[in-house]
Structures are given as structure tokens and as C-alpha cells.
Amino acid sequence: MASGTLYTYLNNFRAYKALIAAQYSGADVKVDPAFEFGVTNKQESFLKKFPQGKVPAFESKNQEYLTESNAIAYFVSSEQFKGSTLYEQALVQQFISYADNEILPASYAWVYPSLSIAQFNKLSVDRAIEDVKGILAYLDNYLLAKTYLVGERITLADITVACSLLQLYQHVLNPEFRKPYINVNRWFDTIVNQPKVVKIIGAFEYCQKSAEFNQ
């Protein structure tokens, strides 16, 4: 079973993917407590292993180096977590891509301005909100008759998609907005309340009131 050190800042939803996957597989993954974002990842010793200086970054006990959170999560996952058949493995890949290519861009474009860490542009935010509605509608319909995204058990697909939705559910999807999406809400709630997930992300706090935009 894989084991090693994960370099990341705290509360990094990308790092959560690997840490949760390790909970399920039993992989021994420790977050480096000495890591300081903006300092450690600019040092020569870090850049020698991880030339782009990005996190999360992973060093296995056998000195194998990995960047990109999906790769690290994949490395520390059990075989079953990655999909039990060829088709299920491909579906896991599908949802991983969907999270990165569809959910995250929409999430950034809505959440970042709402947290005032990106400039507010009404057109962009309105478009992001529509995109998020489309995403939730798609997932809601997909999860109508399914408990998990792929197969009959939790997989890397559920963890990856749930982690990519964390910031949305935390900051902007207020109760009224998310109310119609019964199935995806049920699924998301199931995932974030799994004991192995709670161990990593803590007790999840849903958005009660969307952040106001600083125009």
C-alpha cells in the first residue's frame, strides 16, 4: 500500500481528495506539518522535487514524486476505489474530468468574486450561476436512481466531484437555491457525512446565506 508525505496548505479541497482516498485504502499519507505555503514551496529543496512549486505535492516513501491532486489521489486509492470494471474505471475518469473541466471553472467564477478574491463582473457571475444550475440539474437527474456516481459503492468519482462542489455548497448555494436539487443534495450529504470523509474535512457547514458581492 502506498505511503508518503503530502505537502499542502490547510483546508485545500484538492488535498482532501488524496487524504480521503487514503482513509478508504488504508494508505499511510501524512501531511507535512512543517510546510508553509509561499515559503517551503519556493525553496530549492522543494523545487528540486516539484519544479513548478505547486501543491498538493506528494513524495512516497520510495521517493516517487507526484503533483496534480488527481494523480496523488489515484496513487493512494485502492483498486476498487478506482472502479471495479473497465467501464466503471472509465466512468470514474469521466467524473474526474467533469469535476475539473466543468464544475471547478463554474465554481471559481462564482465563489471567488463572492469571497472578494477575484474581481466582480456581473456578466461572468451570472453566467457562472447558470452553469452551476446546469451542473446541479445534470447531477440531480443522474442521481435519481443511484446512491453513488459509479457502481454501487463509493469511489474516487464521488470524492472528486464532492470535493469540487465543497466551495459552492459552503459559500454560495444557500438553502433556497439548492432546494430543488433533491438527489444531488442527498448524495452530497451522504458523502460529506461519511466518517472517513469527516475525519479529513471536519463537520461540513452548509451555506446559510450567500455572500454579498462587493461591486
Partner 1 sequence: MALEILAQEKVWLNKSKYADAERVYYEKLSK
The answer to whether residues 165 and 188 touch, using CB atoms and an 8 Å cutoff, is yes
Which of residues 28 and 126 has its CB atom nearest to partner 1 in the complex? 126
Binding residues for its own copies (CB under 8 A): 2, 51-52, 60, 64, 66-72, 74-75, 86-87, 89-91, 93-94, 96-98, 100-101, 134, 138, 141-142
Q: Cβ of residue 15: shortest distance to partner 1, in angstroms?
A: 11
Answer with the entry of partner 1, its own copies, none that 108 interacts with (C-beta below 5 to 8 A by kind): partner 1
115 binds, among its own copies, partner 1, none (CB under 5 to 8 A by kind): partner 1
DSSP 8-state symbol, 210: P
- CB nearer partner 1, residue 1 or residue 117: 117
| Distance between CA atoms of residues 184 and 142, nearest Å | 9
Would you tell me how many other CB atoms lie within 10 Å of the CB of residue 208?
7
Stretch that binds partner 1, among 25-33, 66-74, 106-114, 178-186 (CB under 8 A): 106-114
Q: Which stretch binds partner 1 (CB under 8 A): 25-33, 35-43, 91-99, 147-155?
A: 35-43
Strand pairing class (3-7; 57-60): antiparallel
What count of other Cβ atoms lies within 10 Å of the Cβ of residue 133?
14
- Dist. CA 71–CA 59, nearest whole Å: 12
Q: Going residue by residue from 66 to 105, which x/- string records binding to partner 1, judged by CB under 8 A?
A: -----------------------------------x--xx
- Picked from partner 1, its own copies, none, the partner binding residue 98 (CB below 5 to 8 A depending on kind) is its own copies
Q: How far is CA 151 from CA 43, 136, 194, in A?
A: 43, 20, 17
Nearer to its own copies, 26 or 51 (CB): 51
For the chain, what is the radius of gyration of the CA atoms?
18
CA distances from 175 to 178, 179, 188, 199 (A): 5, 6, 14, 25
Give Cβ neighbours of residue 186 (< 8 Å, ≥ 6 apart).
143
Question: Least distance in Å: CB of 171 to partner 1?
Answer: 9
**Which residues sit at the interface with partner 1, rule CB under 8 A?**
9-12, 36-39, 101, 104-106, 108-109, 112, 115-119, 124, 127-128, 131
